[in-house]
Structure 1
Amino acid sequence: MGATIFEAPPHDPAKSQIENVLELTPVTDIGPDVFTNTRPLWHPPGARGIYGGAAIAQCLSAAQKTVPADFFPHSMHCYFVLSGDSRLPVLYHVERVRDGRSFATRTVQARQQGRPIFTTTLSFDREGSGGKKQIKHTIKKPDVAVPESHDGIGRGRGPFESRQVGITNRDSPHAADRTLQLFNKARGTISSEGGRQAHLTALAYMSDSYFIGTVAKVHNIPRFSSPGAIDKAAALIKKDAGVEEEVVKKYLTDLAEQEERELKLSKKTSDEPNREIGMMVSLDHTIYFHDRREFRADEWIFSEMKTPWAGAGRGLVLQQMWAQDGTLIATCVQEGVVRLKQDKPPSSSKL
């Protein structure tokens, strides 16, 4: 079995790269609300499985296909169950939990070889159902200059560009006071055919960028502390994912060099010496969609991430996303495993 159930069609030049990446194909032989990835999914060279944003966005896309056209998502709550294998197709099973006049609820389970790798519950509301009289308030977008739009500049050649602004409040003695700021945007132009749904799925795809990594960044802990650590990680990823080791090694080396430059520019070192990341992986992911009309995902979206808590081998990160005109379009929350390398294995205790 390959990376897709059906033979992948050529990319549609009338659509943006991110629309092509996230396209789904119905699998009517299995059921009316079952879909699969049309094209192979991206496995970032530095990750253990497929990019988490792909599972988030394709689950959203699958659910959107089962609700009326005037219903749009206002929240989705996701759990990463297992690492997705980019060499295998993903089946997205949608369950129609509830259909009301103003709200609709869906659950989606992403499966590979019959095993769930990702699950999410989504809630949609009908546009305009809140009435004309409304309570309104919002958080103001930080005053940060929008980067120049030169498509192709930035790390990687994926379906979206990412530009880090940096860490704010570096001099604060408290990691919880520091924030990571960055811009993301889909490459090319999202088609009118894709409509608002395409912009929402692209937003969901990009929302996973750098997310749980914020915990390490605000503590000034580089992901890879030595060439040996890069070699070890590259060998492990090659074994797990079947990616060429030299490709992985170059990608990880670039990441390490970028982190080193950031720390030199800020003249900061780790808050505490001899701390190295041993494991960092997402556990869950929540998106609250706010204004779903006043943004384009193919224009720069500003994100600010902060982490109010870390401990017990886990970390929590909050993210807010603004459109170029200052409209707050989404608030996201992610918890993940963030474990340091230990001097010695933890002692076991008998129950």
Structure 2
Amino acid sequence: MAKRVTIFDPPPLDTAKAGIENILELTPMQDIGPDVFTNSRPLWHPPGARGVYGGAVIAQCLAAAQRTVPEGFTVHSMHCYFVLAGDSEIPIIYHVERVRDGRSFATRTVQARQRGRPIFTTTLSFNKDDSGGKIKVEHSSQMPSVPPPKDQPPSKASQSPFEVQRIRTEFGSEPIEQRRLVQWCRVRDKISEEGGHRAHLSALAYISDNYFIGTVPRVHKIPRFSSPTVIEKALKALKNPSDLGSDFVANYINEVAPGRQAEIRKLAESHANGTAIDARKISSIIRSEDPREIGMMVSLDHTIYFHNPRAFRADEWMLCVMESPWSGDGRGLVQQKIWSRDGVHIATCVQEGVIRLKQDEPKAESKL
């Protein structure tokens, strides 16, 4: 019996909505319960990753919880744990529990399950709009001064629902914990009026997981794609030469040390035109810059604080700044601040993940 990626046949794409809205669409499962939902469409499994893109599960949990709170309540925080890798070849079931409904706050928990087991769990808190009173204690982090995003048409080759413009910064001698990764992000297409501010919040949650824990190896200048196995999986994701203009290049090839992209791009182009993958050659190019190699990198938890949930649009440019204050004991911590283009601090995110390097284990002595 063939596997089903979704429980129900996916509905037709709604061209009046942005691509992210279609991707995050949920189908109620009223026969099971009033607050049970499932993904309406297949979810993305990034090349080389252990499971589905974490941002999709985060965003769909938020979308499910938002369906259960009254109008006038807006999410202000969600605390998530990745329990198991999500399988992109089977459906995900989202179970929402209405923990509490108060006058000013409402609390929800959501479990994402596959094969009857939780793969992801989150607790969300919603605040009643304008419940803080007229006199408030207020302050906010200021957006750093960076070059504005470039006005350029989105790549037609890319299948990603959002686009990223990284602001390249060559790290110098500053301490690792002071190094920052800066990028502009926004959703492709315009989010519909029907989706409203809740669709923008779900889209922001989706984007927030973009290369988040990957900040740790980047500030350490450790190439992420140095293993021949990982590179081979990533290159196999190329379906045709036009894919080289997509986010594959931006997210993978351009992560290597400066000055080596052209050499690796040439090898990737040869593969896209039918030449066999020479992953070990690519690996040797990357590792010549740094002998360290990522053995395992996976997210453990993810927290989002929504500061000004109605003061932004996810389909307009947002500035994301990531830094890692600590790593050790096989784990790493990353903080991310997000501002709207006009300087409103709209969210702060925190993520911890497993960061393990491949160890040079001595070979076991053979027994006589």
TM-score (norm 1): 0.88
Query: Which residue of the partner structure matches residue 298 of structure 2?
Result: 281
Aligned sequence identity (%): 58
After TM superposition, the structure 1 = structure 2 runs for residues 24-103 of structure 1, keeping only pairs within 5 Å, are 24-103=26-105
- Tell me, in whole angstroms, the C-alpha distance in 1 between the residues paired with 2:359 and 2:72: 52
The answer to whether the 8 Å contact 2:223/2:290 transfers is: no
Q: CA deviation at 1:48?
A: 1.6
After TM superposition, the structure 1 = structure 2 runs for residues 93-242 of structure 1, keeping only pairs within 5 Å, are 93-153=95-155, 156-167=158-169, 170-225=171-226, 229-230=227-228, 232-233=229-230
Q: CA deviation at 1:174?
A: 1.5
- 2:334 pairs with 1:317: yes
Letter in 2 for 1:88: I
The answer to whether the 8 Å contact 2:299/2:353 transfers is: yes
After TM superposition, the structure 1 = structure 2 runs for residues 290-309 of structure 1, keeping only pairs within 5 Å, are 290-309=307-326
The answer to whether the 8 Å contact 1:181/1:305 transfers is: yes
Structure 2 residues without counterparts, runs of 5 or longer: 262-285
- Tell me, in whole angstroms, the C-alpha distance in 1 between the residues paired with 2:29 and 2:149: 41
- Tell me, in whole angstroms, the C-alpha distance in 1 between the residues paired with 2:64 and 2:225: 37
TM-score (norm 2): 0.84
- Tell me, in whole angstroms, the C-alpha distance in 1 between the residues paired with 2:157 and 2:338: 20
Query: Which residue of the partner structure matches residue 260 of structure 1?
Result: 256
Letter in 1 for 2:102: G
- Tell me, in whole angstroms, the C-alpha distance in 2 between the residues paired with 1:320 and 1:97: 29
The answer to whether the 8 Å contact 1:234/1:245 transfers is: no
- Tell me, in whole angstroms, the C-alpha distance in 2 between the residues paired with 1:98 and 1:233: 44
1:250-278 deviation digits (Å, cap 9, x = unpaired): 8878755312254779xxx99x9521111
The answer to whether the 8 Å contact 1:139/1:328 transfers is: yes
Structure 1 residues without counterparts, runs of 5 or longer: none
- Tell me, in whole angstroms, the C-alpha distance in 2 between the residues paired with 1:155 and 1:282: 28
- Tell me, in whole angstroms, the C-alpha distance in 1 between the residues paired with 2:64 and 2:157: 29
Query: Which residue of the partner structure matches residue 283 of structure 2?
Result: none
The answer to whether the 8 Å contact 1:45/1:252 transfers is: no
- Tell me, in whole angstroms, the C-alpha distance in 1 between the residues paired with 2:116 and 2:316: 38
- Computing the radius of gyration over CA atoms, which structure comes out larger, 1 or 2? 2
The answer to whether the 8 Å contact 2:5/2:89 transfers is: yes
The answer to whether the 8 Å contact 2:26/2:64 transfers is: yes
Secondary structure of the equivalent of 1:47? coil
Q: CA deviation at 1:167?
A: 3.4
Find the partner of 2:18 among 3, 16, 19: 16
The answer to whether the 8 Å contact 2:222/2:290 transfers is: no
